[in-house]
Chain A
Amino acid sequence: MLARRHLLSAVFLAALVAAFAPALAVPALAQDKSIVVSSTTSTQDSGLFGHILPMFKAKTGIDVKVVAQGTGQALDTGKRGDADVVFVHAKSQEEKFVADGAGVKRHPVMYNDLVLIGPKADPAGIKGKNIDDALKAIQANNASFISRGDRSGTHSAEINLWKAVGVDIAKDKGPWYKEIGQGMGAALNTAGASGAYVLADRGTWISFKNKGDLDILVEGDNKLFNQYGVILVNSEKHPSVKKELGQSFIDWLVSAEGQKAIADYKIEGQQLFFPNASVPGA
């Protein structure tokens, strides 16, 4: 009796294992020609990668696996050797990344611009102002402002903009200033739901689908320029880095073909990113 029970339980277990074992083996296949790129939420949420990566794959056969993070985290992922290439937007942090030996060389790729978004009712009356006056008005009126608060490129750009108008935001912030510690889309969702101002990159804004009562209030100020750079992670620090495959991705991005692919990406007829790989000092 007992023996039969054992047999039954053994069969039961064996059946379970047999059912799942093939599943465990599957993910290991065919991942040889691929690289990991740590990039920012703005490039992913705006749909740019969905547009350009299939072209790159068609040409080279290389799969690009994008991990979308804030710029700070994306650089950290590269520094730990968990990505082959970083593609981010915070020039000073990128230069430090290379200077520290974590990356090989920074290549400028493209830019988009930041826009100041807010409720159409515009309680602080900033519409049409330049970015400096707009930020001063938001602070003076204690108008709700959503900050990314996630060490992303947009976040550090925002901190620098406050600094430029003489506000040390870490010290001078009040209850009106809310750091949510999340990505661009989440910040826009939060601003929309609470009638707050928020600084966003234009790419994410144009492709964002939950605009609700939000609108662009300040744009076109040359202080709102947002440059993207791409860097190969240093294989001397991390031998696992796929140097050749990563470099061919970078070469393609800055080539005439890659630059055209970036320029061709449009949503509702609007170009989101402006290639400038050949501009000195970008």
Chain B
Amino acid sequence: MLEPASALQLVLSGDPGLFAIVRLSLLVSLSAVLCAALIGVPAGAALALTRFPGRDAVVVILNAMMGLPPVVVGLAIYLLLSRSGPLGSFGLLFTPQAMIIAQTLLVAPIIAALARQTIEDLSAEYRDELTAMDVGPFAKVATLIWDGRFSLITALLAGFGRAAAEVGAVIIVGGNIEGFTRTMTTAIALETSKGDLPMAIGLGVILMGIVILVNALAWATRRTGERYGAA
């Protein structure tokens, strides 16, 4: 039985394997959040500001998609990217890119749904001002996104939390290949299956530390932004 401190010792000794795993986790999850933001924020804004028949159903479905099961998304992407699947010729299965694609699909609905709510609320609040300014729809959307930026950062963090914590999708499409597609969460799953529970818990603690760090950075950015904005 290993000492419970073994994972901590890994950190303190600057273990290169652990560093690679942490780096890949951040790379995959942050890239997925970025891609999901580029899709989700405009999509959420569009949904917030347009009215069409069946819109309520779309909003309900979008909100429900925040609960997409990672394993199902992983399996769908697996079948798409497999050499026998429609996108097989790209050879993306069992690569970090496949993991980013899967997590983007998981995170985009969260960002879109929260962005939709934020922008819809702001739009109602600023209705008169926006009408008075008499600007085009794109300028209007850009203004609302900018005014809602702090709430939208929270939406991005919710998405990041989802991506950093999930294991079901990345283990299927990434394959948990050592030194290539092994992330914090798949490493935790592997250590658990090897019966090395102290190491698994230790890695879990490190993962939580990283997520807290990312959130702290976002919070600091927000604080700085508020001060700058107020000045």
Task: List A residues at the B interface (Cβ < 8 Å).
Answer: 2, 5-6, 8-9, 12, 16-17, 20, 23-24, 26-28, 31, 36, 41, 44-45, 49-50, 63, 65-68, 80-82, 182-186, 188-189, 207-211, 238, 240
Contact = CB atoms under 8 A, between A and B. Distances in A.
A81 B84 contact: yes
Contact of B83 (A24, A81, A210): A81
Contacts of B83: 80-82, 238, 240
In the complex, the 10 A-B pairs of residues with the closest C-beta atoms, listed nearest first: A185-B193, A81-B83, A210-B195, A67-B175, A27-B96, A80-B84, A209-B195, A65-B177, A208-B195, A20-B34
B97 interface: yes
Given A20-B34, A27-B96, A185 B192 contact: yes
Interface of B: 1-2, 27, 30-31, 34, 37, 82-85, 88-89, 91, 93-97, 100, 133, 135, 139, 142-143, 145-146, 149, 175-178, 180-181, 190, 192-197
Contacts of B197: 209-210
Given A67-B175, A188-B195, A210-B195, A20 B31 contact: yes
A27 B30 contact: no
Contacts of B88: 81, 240
Nearest to B91: A240
6 contacts: A23-B31, A26-B27, A31-B95, A36-B175, A49-B178, A82-B93
Contact of B194 (A2, A6, A49, A209): A209
Contact of B139 (A2, A31, A44): A2
Contacts of A20: 30-31, 34
Given A5-B143, A20-B34, A45 B176 contact: no
B194 A8 contact: no
B143 A65 contact: no
Contacts of A65: 94, 175, 177-178, 180-181
A6 B87 CA distance: 38
Given A26-B27, A209-B2, 8 more contacts: A5-B142, A5-B143, A17-B34, A36-B94, A67-B175, A182-B193, A209-B1, A209-B197
A44 B177 CA distance: 10
A12 B34 CA distance: 13
A67 B178 CA distance: 9
Interface centre among A26, A44, A210, A211 (most CB of B within 10 A): A210
A189 B27 contact: no
Contacts of A2: 133, 135, 139, 143
B31 A24 contact: yes
Contacts of B34: 16-17, 20, 24
Contacts of A184: 193
A45 B89 CA distance: 31
B195 A82 contact: no
A235 B99 CA distance: 26
A184 B192 CA distance: 11
B193 A5 contact: no
B99 to A, nearest CB: 9
Contacts of A208: 194-195
A31 B34 CA distance: 25
Contacts of B94: 36, 65, 67, 82
A28 B139 CA distance: 37
Nearest to A67: B175
Contacts of B190: 44-45
B154 to A, nearest CB: 15
B143 A207 contact: no
Nearest to A47: B194
